[in-house]
Amino acid sequence: MKVLIVGNFSETSKATVTNHFPESWDVVIVPPGEEVQRHVKDCQVLIPEHIKVDHSLLSAAPHLKLVQTGAGYDNVDIDACTKLGIWAANAAGVNAQAVAEHVLALLLSYYKNIPFLDTFMKSKLDESQLNYTGSELAGKTIGIVGLGAIGKKVASFCKALDMNVLACVRNPSVISDDLVEITDFDTLISTADIISVHVPLTQQTKQLFNKTVFQQMKQTALFINTARGGIVKESDLIDALKNRDILGACLDVFESEPLPMSSELRTLDNVILTPHTAGLPDGRKFHKKRYDFFIRNINRVANGEEPESKLNQLVACDTDKTNESEELP
């Protein structure tokens, strides 16, 4: 079994991830680039980060059986996978606890001024010079955009802190309950004290948060994004932060990752930044639950079963991908 993982990993992270898989498996971790083309030719499983998995790449992998992603799969051409007889699956919900905890940590860090106060103390400044403003979370209204596994977990955490919880969802059958009040997007945006994003990146959600939306928010609103950077028009967010159209932002994801050193986000005092680590609580590039799920799914496909959290449906598991690829335009 050859598993190809594509991403930017340190040597330590490579060792941690590789050692978690069965010893008999050939696990190869390479950065985006030429090495991908060399290794994809004989791999059975592809776990892609920071690369587009399109028809061209898939058709160069005649032995590929499964494309396995984390929670997000906006970088994978699902239709091409289906036409080529390749299973595609994500790990929906596996990182819900980790991401929700990260959202809560960002919330508390921002309103309790943790980064500022930590720097103040370590700078050995006179405490008589200390000046800051903060707030309790109780009584504040959080608006959750997307009520999947992560959104629901965030809602439960916030409810436990005596916050009011609003949510907007695509499914019209979802109704208000003791946990959340379902409302429309415009109402949520204009009334919430905190907006937390938990939707996938699709054509419908691409740059959903832009200048118009930021101008609808309260000037005291905090914006949190732990979903996908492409859901936000980053230049509009930067303008809103610089102009104090909103209170601030807590961001774990960005339009371009890693976040460029030249990004203005790195210079703003009303922003807390983390490097897309919300779903990786066990260390750099590692989440035990995530990789345990990957291993189970790989074994399922190897045994002729459908993967969990599948993103497509194949007519037969033993489809001849080479013949099908010749029929694609």
Q: How far apart are CA 255 and CA 273, in angstroms?
A: 13
Q: How far apart are CA 258 and CA 297, in angstroms?
A: 28
In total, the chain counts a number of residues equal to: 329
Known catalytic membership, residue 228: yes
Q: Which residues of 205-227 are buried (b: 16+ CB within 10 A; e: fewer)?
A: beebbeeebbebbbeebbbbbbb
Known catalytic membership, residue 266: no
The active-site residue, picked from 198, 276, 287, 290, is 276
Q: How far apart are CA 181 and CA 148, in angstroms?
A: 15
Question: Are 234 and 261 spatial neighbours (Cβ–Cβ below 8 Å)?
Answer: no
Known catalytic membership, residue 257: yes
Q: For residue 145, what are the β-bridge partners? A: 168, 197
Please, what sign has the CA dihedral across residues 181, 183, 185, 190?
Answer: negative
The active-site residue, picked from 228, 234, 287, 290, is 228
Sequence-distant (6+) residues with CB within 8 A of 107 are 137, 194, 222, 224, 250
The active-site residue, picked from 35, 181, 255, 257, is 257
Query: Up-side HSE of residue 175: CA atoms within 13 Å toward CB?
Result: 2
- Positions marked catalytic: 228, 257, 276
